[in-house]
Amino acid sequence: MPNPMVFALVLVAAVVLFIWSAVRRFSLLRVGRPEDRFNDIPARIRDTLVYAFGQKRVVRKAFGFNHLLLFWSFLILLIANGEFILKGLNPAISFMSLPAVVHNPIYLIFDLVSLIVLLCVIIAAIRRIVKPPFPGALTADAYVILGMVAALMIAYFNLHGLELASGEMIALMPISSAVGGLFYSGITPVAAHPLITIWWWVHAIVLLGFLNYLPYSKHMHILSSIPNIYFKRFDHANTLPRETFVSDARFGVESVADLTWKDLLDSFSCTECGRCQMVCPANLTDKPLNPRQVIHDIKINLLENGPAMRKGAEPKLALIGGGGEGSITEDQVWSCTSCGACMEVCPVFIEQMPKILQIRRNLVEAKADFPEELLNLFENMEQRSNPWGIAPSDRTKWCSLLDVKPFDEDCEYLFYVGCAGAFDSRNKQIALAMAMILDAAGISWGILGKEEMCCGDSARRLGNEYLFDQMAQANVELWEQKGVKKIITMCPHCFSTLKNDYRQYGFNGEVISHSEFIAELLTAGTLKLAEKVDLGKITFHDSCYLGRHNDIYEQPRSVISAATGRDPVEMKRNHSDSFCCGAGGGRMWMEEQLGTRINLERVREALDEDPDTVCVACPYCMTMFEDGLKDEHREMVNVRDIAEVVAMALPRQ
Amino acid sequence: MATIFCEKRRPQMASVRPHVMPMPCKDEEATGQIIRESIGMTEADIPTKVLEVIFDAGQTDDQEIGDAEFIVSGGRGLLDKQNFKLIRELADELGGVVGSSRSAVDAGWIDVEHQVGQTGKTVRPKIYIACGISGAIQHLVGMQDADLVIAINRDPEAPIFEVADIGIVGDLFEIVPAITESIRRAKAANGHQACVLKPVQG
Ligand SMILES: Cc1cc2nc3c(=O)[nH]c(=O)nc-3n(C[C@H](O)[C@H](O)[C@H](O)COP(=O)(O)OP(=O)(O)OC[C@H]3O[C@@H](n4cnc5c(N)ncnc54)[C@H](O)[C@@H]3O)c2cc1C
Ligand code: SF4
Ligand code: SF4
């Protein structure tokens, strides 16, 4: 056994060094701006138990069970190592001093758990070679940590094997006994003693080394991810905060100082598991964006610039720029479809997407630097309040043959048609179908007609917050004037913007997507269908702004089932795992020059199911699927919005 | 994008993108004073030097579609790269240039420089002839301000007809060569004078 005095010195040195490293790193969070994540403590504790200790998201991937085992084993071994350290300081302190009925099970558990840990790290090491979680996962950092943990367990078994074989310790430890029997059988206490000391020190050095390596590796997440989960957002991160437009204001994110402390904590918490990049439509179609890399670059940038910035210096390494380690390129920033898939899978609740959109704000508002196609878009939205720049007087053309009532105080619902429904010849069909459905159900509804304005979704996701701000205020003002209390939308982008973003502008009315509304009408029996529509085999595509951003998954499916009498077949990626069509985040208005086409990837996935009809619940998805099917020469596969399917099933008048 | 505020102050400032408005007739009555400022800058003051202007080798048209007075555009209805020949012949006869929908660009039939629409070019020609183009809104926004739109499409329901001044429902493989031919004949009759396209009714 070691000399307690010597160990005490080593221990103090190691702990001081660790605290110094950790404090130095975590104090960099103060570079960030303030953000309130301190509300609702009970709910935060509950979620921490579920997601940190219960590892609920980690185990969503089969291999996550390996991590779950490691995580809990580590917690148990924390006790074993506590005993180890105390015993090193004072040999009298040991679980051995407890009665056998108590200490026997304790040592048995330690022994078995140590074996589990050893097996888990071996499996993890092999997996990284055989089937890496993502390309490039084979890093030295990963192997240093796995090696250290394995060394710790090997030292543990040797140490106790020797103690048991030499009779220094009597306890129920089958694995350690086996090691002792195998290597040290019949060893005398005198011969065992120096070996015990050696293994003891190996164990101690590796343990303290591990502790001091943590803050400098991706395994910093051992320290930061539990707080990161505790401080997570409760709502979906589908909105960004408002900005104030005063002189000298900073817009969006230009350097790490413009991020909040929680954004920076996110960067420290990334486990580099790569799950986000494996679901990211931009990454999967060979665009330069990789959400894991974005988070990693923020961390490297903070480490590089943070210490000097805390003393008031300007950052040396630009956050938006060349794209070397620690900087993010503009191409990365513009590739994001804001689909939210990354945030949905991240086991430690990192919010990648809002950071990307905040960088767009800076590019657009402070630098006027954005893809050229957007110039037209912004002008059109600003001057004519629609993305195509069509005359606002054309807004009612879609219903020129119908008798649609202008919204007034007597209407219960405002049907907010949206720009696609009003102007795009294909999507006008959905607006017509909605009109038929609302009338058939006897709903009291009206439209704003020529007075309707664009919701501004694309402006916000593209970082033109100044424009969005004006549009949102104008809309809310108009609705207040008209007495609008309940709004039905047919576009998930309008829906999410009106429902979530407009809260920030004081709009508190009810906003209902056509998926929810039709589903409710059918369940309540208010809407009666005459016949089942035969559209052959149907597959349904979840749009990001309905599903992941607003948790609406079952309603559109139930609508399809009700109208056709058949449940839609699921594509490989469905519900919250659904794959974006490529149009969100303002990508609808940009040319897709980098990598391959996102819509084609999704269309091929749909075609794998060999459908006759693809059902969508979003006008953007409609365009993306129709275009993609034509590109794949599969025009015979129809694309239908759920409202169209229902309209076909209505009784004929 | 520049957002310039001069709500209450003078001077005011304005600029326009090319082709967003028709060129108005010259108004002799208009008053106002144009002050030409000489800035006193010589070429030596400009750090950037233009060494040589190199034209895109792939572009056979002398004109950019953005400035063209006649544009003949082809879409997916052309079915094949080879068939763009029909479009080019007609354009040549008219002294115009070739445009296209995005689908034709995506299919690799023609260079992206020719793409008309939302993410392509906005054009404002005197005559725009759309052949085998369905008229998706993404295309329409790029060409709807043409003075005269002629659409050739075999689908009478195609949305392109909503913006067309003259619509020809039929097979472009018959109609386009027929138009080209009739222009040739007209030109021959007129002794190769500049041709004025007469509306063709279908
Ligand atoms: C982000 C984004 C940006 C886009 N930007 C643009 C853009 O800038 N410009 C653009 O054009 N599109 C753009 N699109 C694509 C747009 O949505 C349409 O897919 C595209 O315009 C369709 O091209 P098309 O009309 O050639 O093909 P289709 O829609 O397939 O139409 C082909 C037409 O040809 C007709 N046809 C077929 N055979 C014949 C024949 N023998 N004779 C006569 N007619 C025939 C058919 O009836 C049909 O109407 C964009 C899409 C997205 C998602
Ligand atoms: S929001 Fe979607 S596109 Fe953007 S980084 Fe995340 S996964 Fe990728
Ligand atoms: S951001 Fe989250 S999902 Fe992506 S690699 Fe890091 S921990 Fe994994």
pLDDT per residue as tens digits for the range A557-615: 999 999 999 999 999 999 999 999 999 999 999 999 999 999 999 999 999 999 999 99
- What's the CA gap between A389 and A454, in Å, rounded? 11
Which residues fall within 8 angstroms of residue A249, CB to CB, at 6 or more apart?
A243
> How does pLDDT run across A59-92, given as a tens digit for each residue?
999 899 999 999 999 999 999 999 999 999 999 9
| Nearest Cα residue to A381 out of A583, A588, A237, A238 | A588
Which residue pairs from B166-172 have beta carbons closer than 8 angstroms and sit at least 24 positions apart in sequence?
B166/B199, B166/B200, B166/B201, B166/B202, B167/B202, B168/B200, B168/B201, B168/B202, B169/B202, B170/B202, B172/B77, B172/B78, B172/B86, B172/B131, B172/B132
Closest CB from B119, B140, B162 relative to A373: B119
Does B40 reside within a domain?
A: no
Q: Is the CB of A341 under 6 A from ligand 2?
A: yes
CATH number, domain containing residue B143: 3.40.50.1220
Please report which helix (H) or strand (E) contains residue B153, including its range: strand B148-153
pLDDT in the model for residue B197: 46
pLDDT at A319 over 50: yes
Is there a single domain that holds both residue A473 and residue A529? Answer: yes
Is residue B182 assigned to a domain? yes
CB distance A602 to ligand 3 below 6 Å: no
Q: Is the domain of A269 the same as that of A384?
A: no
Is A616 exposed, middle or buried, given 0-12, 13-18 or 19+ CB atoms closer than 10 A? Answer: buried
- Residues 13-72 of chain B with CB under 8 A from chain A are none
Domains identified in chain B, total number: 1
Which residue is closest to A397 within chain B, CA to CA?
B162
For residues B132 and B152, the answer to whether their CB atoms sit within 8 Å is: yes
Q: Which residues pair with A260 in a beta bridge?
A: A33
Long-range contacts of A476-479 (CB under 8 A, 24+ apart): A476/A502, A476/A505, A476/A506, A476/A507, A478/A448, A478/A451, A478/A453, A479/A414, A479/A507, A479/A509
Structural domain contains residue A307: yes
A529 close to A559: Cβ distance less than 8 angstroms: no
Which residues, 6+ apart, have CB-to-CB distance to A7 below 8 Å? A88, A89, A204
DSSP classification of residue A491 = S
In this predicted structure, the answer to whether residue B1 has a pLDDT above a threshold of 70 is no
Residues A205-222 have a mean pLDDT of 93
Residues of chain A with C-beta less than 8 angstroms from the C-beta of B162: 425
Q: Which residue has the higher pLDDT, B196 or A506?
A: A506
**pLDDT of B156 strictly over 50:** yes
- Note whether A302 and A388 are same-domain residues: no
Task: Answer yes or no: is A30 within a domain.
Answer: yes
User: Tell me, what CATH number does A77's domain have?
Assistant: 1.20.950
> To which residue do tokens 């040797």 refer?
A158
Domain stops at, among A336, A366, A396: A366
The answer to whether A261 and A35 have CB atoms below 8 angstroms apart is: yes
pLDDT at residue B198, as a whole number: 45
Examine the domain organization and report whether A288 and A422 are in the same domain: no
Atom 1 (ligand 1): residue with closest C-alpha?
Answer: A588
Q: Residue A576 C-alpha to ligand 2 middle, in angstroms? A: 13
Task: Provide the mean pLDDT of chain A.
Answer: 95
State which residue of chain B sits closest to A376, comparing Cα positions.
Answer: B118
Place of tokens 């030596």: B44
Cα B138 from Cα A274, distance rounded (Å): 36
Is the pLDDT score of A332 beyond 70?
yes
The answer to the question of residue B8 being in a domain is no
Q: Which residues of B touch A630 (CB under 8 A)?
A: 76, 103
Query: Is A108 within 8 Å of A164 (Cβ atoms)?
Result: no
Q: Tell me, yes or no, whether B5 lies in a domain.
A: no
Residue B140 lies in a domain: yes
Tell whether B21 is covered by a domain: no
Distance CA A645, CA A650 (A): 9
Whether B72 is in a domain gets the answer yes
Q: Using the predicted structure, report yes or no on whether residue B62 has a pLDDT greater than 90.
A: no
CB of residue A276 inside a 6 A radius of ligand 3: yes
Task: Write the DSSP string, A189-214.
Answer: HHHHHHHHHHHHHHHHHHHHHHHHHG
pLDDT at B9 exceeding the cut of 80: no
Q: What percent of chain A has pLDDT over 70?
A: 100
ipTM here: 0.84
- Stated as kind and residue range, the H or E segment containing B148 is strand B148-153
Question: Do B1 and A364 contact (CB within 8 A), yes or no?
Answer: yes
Question: What's the pLDDT at A139?
Answer: 87
**Residue numbers of the domain that contains A352:** 256-366
Q: pLDDT-based confidence at B188, cuts 50/70/90?
A: confident
**pLDDT above 60 (res A510):** yes
- Does A199 touch chain B if contact means CB atoms closer than 8 Å? no
| pLDDT interval class at B27 (50, 70, 90) | confident
Task: Name B129's bridge partners.
Answer: B72, B150
Dist CA A353 CA A236 (whole Å): 11
Confidence band, pLDDT 50/70/90 cuts, at residue B195: very low
Task: Output the pLDDT for position B199.
Answer: 45
Record: contact A426-B122, CB cut-off 8 A: no
- Amino acid B56: pLDDT: 54
Greater model confidence, A545 or B9:
A545
In this prediction, residue B6 carries a pLDDT of: 61
CA B118 to chain centre: 13
Q: Identify the band that residue B194 occupies on the pLDDT scale cut at 50, 70 and 90.
A: very low
Place of tokens 């916000």: A460
CB A568 within 8 A of CB A540: yes
pLDDT bracket for residue B63 (50, 70, 90): low
R_g over Cα of chain B:
21
Residue B4 in any domain: the answer is no
Residues A276 and A394 in one domain: no
Identify whether residues A271 and A222 lie together within a single domain: no
Q: Is A425 within 8 Å of B137 when comparing Cβ atoms?
A: yes
Identify whether A428 is part of a domain: yes
Which pLDDT score, from 0 to 100, does residue B55 have? 59
pLDDT band at B29, cuts 50/70/90? Answer: confident
Examine residue A387 and state whether it is found in any structural domain, yes or no: yes
Mean of the per-residue pLDDT values of chain B: 84
Closest-CA residue, ligand 2 atom 7, reads A280
pLDDT at A35 over 80: yes
What is the mean predicted confidence (pLDDT) over B122-143? 94
CA distance B74 to A506: 49
> Does pLDDT of B107 surpass 70?
yes
Query: What is the tally of structural domains in chain A?
Result: 3
Mean pLDDT of all residues in A472-490: 96
Residue B146 domain boundaries: 65-189
Give the pLDDT score at B36: 87
Round to whole Å and give the CA distance between A581 and A599.
5
CB contact at 8 A, A426 and A644:
no
Pairwise CA distance, residues A501 & A239, whole Å: 6
- Given A366, A386, A417, the domain boundary residue is A366
Which residues make Cβ contacts (< 8 Å) with residue A480, sequence separation at least 6? Answer: none
Q: Is the pLDDT of residue B202 over 60?
A: no
CATH code of residue A302: 1.10.1060.10
